[in-house]
Amino acid sequence: MSEAKRIDGKARAAGLVERVKAEAGALEAATGRRPGLAVVIVGEDPASQVYVASKARMAEECGFKSVKHVLGAETPEAELLDLVERLNGDPTIHGILVQLPLPRQIDANKVIRAIAPEKDVDGFHLTNVGLVGIGDVATAFVPCTPAGAMILIRDALGEDLSGRHAVVVGRSNIVGKPMAQLLLAANATVTIAHSRTADLPALCRMADILVAAVGRPEMIRGDWVKPGAVVIDVGINRVEAPEKGEGRTRLVGDVAYAEAAERAAAITPVPGGVGPMTIAMLMANTLVSACRAAGRAAPK
């Protein structure tokens, strides 16, 4: 079989961001309002610092008002809840993102539930989770990573996934479960696999669409991939890279890319696949929120 098409998430995301930028400009020209995104980080987790910085930078690039709140690692839960309350009431803020994980003294569920659902651009509030659960993905804020992955799947296979078998490996609330629900809403036949699934390789080999959201470097091998499948690798894993020099690292996905590319029809690389789509969808969700707040039709 010939080598798979490499799905360029970076280029796709850049196109989406250009559209968001243009629509944000049109919103401001018509109403004088700019979309506003507040990102909140508690503590000094280095990966979180990088994510938050790139989200804030992208918001600025889109012409949004971008506000970053950096709180100390010892911040009490009540203080964070107060900040969320203030942001809920701030008419210049349309999206609130509290970067996870949070330090131990703070109940993340409580914080997520405190965010106004109409500003919950991460799509983690129970209202948005429920809307996705009943298949109302047009009203919901859909979590950004599965929403971005879904665009790449539709680019490859079209809007309607009737008759396709999708296997989602991973059942987290932020990736696996919403991913499965979006695939179901698009008429795919969906199987969700996890750490207690028996004979995962055989199950994966049945997938026309294989989504890996596990967090285990290159766990999914080439011979787990059905010839002609579309493979979406959500995993981001940092591994040692002695070939680059001592102490150096590189990013790999949950799928052994080179092996899988020999069998798949199309596959996302890591980096440059689902990752950039996640940030683009965050911008798209914030724009939708701002349009709704201004009483304008949200862009599709």
* 3-class SS shares of the chain: helix, strand, coil, % to 5: 45, 15, 40
Q: Does 189 bind ligand NDP (CB under 6 A)?
A: no
The minimum distance between CB 234 and ligand NDP, in angstroms, equals: 4
Binding test (CB under 6 A) with ligand NDP, winner from 93, 111, 147, 236: 236
49 is catalytic: no
What span, in angstroms and rounded, lies between the C-alpha atoms of 178 and 129? 8
Q: Which of residues 205-234 bind ligand NDP (CB under 6 A)?
A: 213-216, 234
Q: Does 156 bind ligand NDP (CB under 6 A)?
A: no
Task: Judge residue 65's burial from the number of C-beta atoms within 10 Å of its C-beta, 0-12 exposed, 13-18 middle, 19 or more buried.
Answer: middle
**Smaller CB separation from ligand NDP, 196 or 300:** 196
Q: Does 237 bind ligand NDP (CB under 6 A)?
A: yes
The minimum distance between CB 194 and ligand NDP, in angstroms, equals: 4
21 is catalytic: no
Q: Which of residues 157-186 bind ligand NDP (CB under 6 A)?
A: 169-172, 174-176
Q: Does 194 bind ligand NDP (CB under 6 A)?
A: yes
Q: What is the C-alpha radius of gyration for the chain, rounded to an integer number of angstroms?
A: 19
Ramachandran class of 75: left when φ > 0, alpha when ψ lies in -120 to 50, beta otherwise: beta
Q: Does 195 bind ligand NDP (CB under 6 A)?
A: yes
The minimum distance between CB 57 and ligand NDP, in angstroms, equals: 16
Phi, psi of 239 (to 5 degrees): -125, 160
What span, in angstroms and rounded, lies between the C-alpha atoms of 87 and 40? 10
55 is catalytic: yes
From 55, 119, 177, 226, active-site residue? 55
Q: Are 165 and 210 contacting, i.e. CB atoms less than 8 angstroms apart?
A: no
Residue 166 three-state SS: strand
Q: Does 267 bind ligand NDP (CB under 6 A)?
A: no
Active site residues: 55, 99, 122
